[in-house]
């Protein structure tokens, strides 16, 4: 195995992700940031310099478990202090498992600002993937707003509450079209046909293929808000990987991808090679106000006259057809040979997801606590026993038995919290994510939950309130291993993981405005076993103070 070195500078730059010029957060002059490509077992070094003039930055390596390097997880207030303007921080971590991953900012709403990129880990030298393909493409999916994230962020924490609304565009590899459409000729609403030379920042990245071959399509969603449905005209896809774990292959015509998820699908180019085909992404779970994101599948065989397909783009399933989504999600099962979960658990934590008010501000809360991150990173404050750094009260393991998840709460007020779920090292933990009615009657949203530092088994999904009887129906035989799992409206999702990674780990809804409004919790395990944390990770808050008084220096 090797060490891969990267030198990155994060900066604001003018860019036209959807043909409209705005400001994005880029890396080394690129948007999306450079792709990291490594082999399982490699060590990745990213020397990150913050060139933003007035704000800190951190980068999280989504899906990388950070065994032995919890300080490199890149979560502000959890694993490290933010990197201040002008400063450089060295991320050093091992990529131990082949798969499709990505990275993104994890401070404020910097992911919405465009701070993200792909991270692909190939199998180790001499190893083989359990499927065959002749070429591959990588599509990083995101959503894009014209309003600056600073304004979005302020609106979310204002009274009255101002919601940023639906995204203006959907992007594939940072490319979308706002003022024109690639499929104008098929659209009912008047729109102009996009004309591209191909060198524009918003020109679609065309997937150029040869007939009768199999391609691997790596898909990852780093959307701030949108849940997506992806389809390729006339072509089936075979799902083979989810979140860096192999799954039982299954064929689909379209698939859902929630924020924080990644997949690999196999695509066989067995259709008429004289035609071109659409690749489309559409919003689901929220009433779409955003046009489909589009690019083309182009058979090289054919002389390049027009790349625009001759038939309309795939029609997305109805945004609120949850039956369709559940059908897809329930097909995802572990590939043979995937480690199975322990058959019993040591602890069960039930987490109720609610939308609330605190002093008239709109928030999300988990068991009635809305997360506000502290000034001192937990990794430092727990390691050095700094009890004033965060709330010492244990956060609740459950929610009231009489709580009706199908109705708005009788008391919609909640409070702020920043306590930690302390997990026994190497114990098995079950988490029941319980969805509920939001503030308004008859509304409940999709929330994709992402766990740092681990993969978990998804033991099952269900409707209404989770109860002990439902426990008997959990899948302990071939549950998929993942790092992100969705909860459907008014439903529950059951997860199991082993707390075997010393460190402090965020567990949160991957919808960025939701996290910003408090939708997350913090887990910690075996922090006494964490080796030397680089000083640079802890130079803020109470750990920063500790460094200043020399005699206390650890």
- Residues within the interface to ligand C2O (CB under 6 A): 60, 62, 104, 106, 260, 450, 452, 506, 508, 510
Residue 62 binds which entry of Cu ion, ligand C2O, none, CB below 5-8 Å type-dependent: ligand C2O
Give the C-alpha separation, 308 to 296, whole Å.
7
Cβ 509 to Cu ion, closest distance in Å? 3
433 near 487, Cβ under 8 Å? yes
173 near 253, Cβ under 8 Å? no
Q: Which of residues 92-131 bind Cu ion (CB under 5 A)?
A: none
Q: Is residue 433 near Cu ion by the rule CB under 5 A?
A: no
Residue 65 binds which entry of ligand C2O, Cu ion, none, CB below 5-8 Å type-dependent: none
φ/ψ (deg, to 5) at 83: -80, 120
Task: Build a one-symbol-per-residue string for 437-466: x at contacts with Cu ion by CB under 5 A, - elsewhere.
Answer: ----------x-------------------
66 near 73, Cβ under 8 Å? yes
295 near 279, Cβ under 8 Å? yes
Q: Is the dihedral of CA 320, 326, 327, 332 positive or negative?
A: positive
Among 260, 514, 518, 542, binds Cu ion (CB under 5 A): 514
- Cβ proximity to ligand C2O: between 284 and 450 the closer is 450
Cβ of 143: how many Cβ atoms within 10 Å? Answer: 26
Cβ 450 to Cu ion, closest distance in Å? 10
Q: Is residue 511 near Cu ion by the rule CB under 5 A?
A: yes
284 near 228, Cβ under 8 Å? yes
- Cβ proximity to ligand C2O: between 10 and 183 the closer is 10
Cβ 5 to ligand C2O, closest distance in Å? 24
Residues 6+ apart with CB under 8 A from 324: 317, 318
- Cβ proximity to ligand C2O: between 241 and 243 the closer is 243
542 near 376, Cβ under 8 Å? yes
- Cβ proximity to ligand C2O: between 78 and 494 the closer is 78
Cβ 484 to ligand C2O, closest distance in Å? 8
Give the C-alpha separation, 91 to 72, whole Å.
5
In this structure, what DSSP letter does residue 53 have?
Answer: S
End-to-end CA distance of the chain: 33
Q: What is the 3-state secondary structure (H, E, C) of 117-165?
A: EEEEEECCCCCCCCCCCCEEEEEEEEEECCCCHHHHHHHHCCCCCCCCC
Alpha-carbon radius of gyration of the chain: 23
Q: Is residue 509 near Cu ion by the rule CB under 5 A?
A: yes
Helical spans, DSSP H, in 149-233:
149-156
Cβ 445 to ligand C2O, closest distance in Å? 18
Residue 447 binds which entry of Cu ion, ligand C2O, none, CB below 5-8 Å type-dependent: Cu ion
Residue 510 binds which entry of ligand C2O, Cu ion, none, CB below 5-8 Å type-dependent: ligand C2O
In this structure, what DSSP letter does residue 113 have?
Answer: T
Cβ 61 to ligand C2O, closest distance in Å? 9
Residue 106 binds which entry of Cu ion, ligand C2O, none, CB below 5-8 Å type-dependent: ligand C2O
Cβ 371 to Cu ion, closest distance in Å? 12
Nearest to 372 by CA among 324, 416, 328: 416
Give the C-alpha separation, 392 to 64, whole Å.
29
- Max CA-CA distance within the chain? 75
- Cβ proximity to ligand C2O: between 267 and 366 the closer is 366
Give the C-alpha separation, 278 to 228, whole Å.
16
Q: Is the peptide bond before 32 cis (omega within 30 degrees of 0)?
A: yes
Residue 465 binds which entry of ligand C2O, Cu ion, none, CB below 5-8 Å type-dependent: none
Cβ of 291: how many Cβ atoms within 10 Å? Answer: 21
Cβ 544 to ligand C2O, closest distance in Å? 23
Give the C-alpha separation, 432 to 467, whole Å.
10
Cβ 520 to ligand C2O, closest distance in Å? 8
| Residues binding Cu ion: number (CB under 5 A) | 4
Choices 21-29, 317-325, 388-396, 512-520 (CB under 5 A): range interacting with Cu ion: 512-520
Cβ 205 to ligand C2O, closest distance in Å? 23
Give the C-alpha separation, 154 to 161, whole Å.
9
Residue 514 binds which entry of Cu ion, ligand C2O, none, CB below 5-8 Å type-dependent: Cu ion
210 near 131, Cβ under 8 Å? no
Residue 383's SS3 state is helix
- Cβ proximity to Cu ion: between 73 and 512 the closer is 512
Choices 100-108, 224-232, 393-401, 511-519 (CB under 5 A): range interacting with Cu ion: 511-519
- Cβ proximity to ligand C2O: between 110 and 264 the closer is 110
- Cβ proximity to ligand C2O: between 75 and 295 the closer is 75
- Cβ proximity to Cu ion: between 18 and 256 the closer is 256
- Cβ proximity to Cu ion: between 119 and 517 the closer is 517
Residue 94 binds which entry of Cu ion, ligand C2O, none, CB below 5-8 Å type-dependent: none
Choices 435-443, 462-470, 506-514, 542-550 (CB under 5 A): range interacting with Cu ion: 506-514
Cβ 227 to Cu ion, closest distance in Å? 10
Nearest to 378 by CA among 527, 236, 249: 527
Cβ 447 to Cu ion, closest distance in Å? 3
Q: Is residue 363 near Cu ion by the rule CB under 5 A?
A: no
Query: Which residues are near Cu ion by CB under 5 A?
Result: 447, 509, 511, 514
């Amino acid at each position: 195995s090797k060490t891969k070195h990267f030198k990155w500078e994060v900066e604001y730059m003018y860019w036209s992700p959807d043909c409209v010029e705005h400001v994005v957060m880029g890396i080394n002059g690129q948007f999306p940031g450079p792709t990291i490509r490594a082999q399982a077992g490699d060590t990745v070094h990213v020397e990150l310099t913050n060139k933003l003039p007035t704000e800190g930055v951190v980068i999280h390596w989504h899906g990388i478990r950070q065994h032995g390097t919890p300080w490199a997880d890149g979560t502000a207030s959890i694993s490290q202090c933010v990197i201040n303007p002008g400063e450089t921080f060295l991320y050093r971590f091992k990529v131990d498992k082949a798969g499709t991953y990505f990275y993104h900012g994890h401070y404020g709403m910097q992911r919405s600002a465009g701070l993200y990129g792909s991270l692909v880990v190939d199998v180790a030298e001499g190893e083989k993937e359990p499927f065959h393909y002749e070429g591959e493409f990588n599509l990083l999916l995101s959503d894009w707003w014209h309003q600056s994230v600073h304004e979005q962020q302020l609106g979310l924490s204002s009274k009255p509450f101002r919601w940023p609304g639906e995204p203006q565009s959907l992007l594939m590899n940072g490319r979308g079209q706002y003022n024109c459409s690639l499929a104008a000729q098929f659209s009912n609403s008047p729109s102009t046909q996009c004309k591209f030379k191909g060198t524009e920042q918003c020109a679609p990245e065309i997937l150029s293929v040869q007939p009768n071959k199999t391609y691997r399509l790596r898909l990852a969603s780093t959307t701030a808000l949108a849940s997506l449905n992806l389809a390729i005209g006339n072509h089936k896809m075979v799902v083979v990987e989810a979140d860096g774990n192999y799954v039982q292959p299954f064929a689909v015509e379209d698939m859902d991808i929630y924020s924080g998820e990644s997949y690999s699908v196999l695509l066989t180019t067995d259709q008429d090679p004289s035609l071109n085909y659409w690749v489309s992404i559409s919003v689901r779970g929220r009433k779409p106000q955003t046009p489909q994101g589009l690019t083309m599948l182009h058979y090289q065989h054919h002389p390049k006259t027009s790349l625009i397909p001759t038939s309309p783009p795939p029609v997305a399933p109805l945004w609120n057809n949850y039956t369709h989504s559940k059908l897809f999600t329930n097909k995802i099962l572990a590939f043979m040979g995937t480690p199975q979960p322990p058959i019993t658990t040591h602890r069960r934590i039930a987490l109720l997801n609610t939308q609330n008010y605190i002093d008239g501000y709109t928030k999300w809360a988990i068991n009635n606590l809305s997360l506000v991150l502290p000034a001192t990173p937990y990794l430092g404050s727990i390691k050095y026993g700094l009890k004033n750094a965060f709330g010492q009260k244990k956060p609740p393991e459950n929610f009231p038995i009489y709580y009706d998840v199908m109705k708005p709460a009788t008391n919609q007020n909640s409070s702020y919290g920043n306590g930690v779920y302390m997990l026994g090292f190497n114990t098995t933990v079950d988490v029941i994510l319980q969805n509920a009615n939001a503030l308004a009657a008859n509304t409940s949203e999709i929330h994709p939950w992402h766990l740092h530092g681990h993969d978990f088994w998804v033991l099952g999904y269900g409707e209404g309130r989770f109860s002990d009887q439902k426990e008997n129906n959990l899948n302990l035989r071939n549950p998929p291993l993942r790092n992100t799992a969705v909860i459907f409206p008014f439903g529950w999702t059951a997860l199991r993981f082993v707390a075997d990674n010393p460190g402090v780990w965020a567990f949160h809804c991957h919808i960025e405005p939701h996290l910003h409004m408090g939708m997350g919790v913090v887990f910690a395990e075996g922090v006494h076993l964490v080796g030397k944390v680089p000083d640079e990770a802890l130079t803020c808050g109470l750990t920063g103070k500790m460094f200043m008084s020399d005699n206390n220096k650890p």
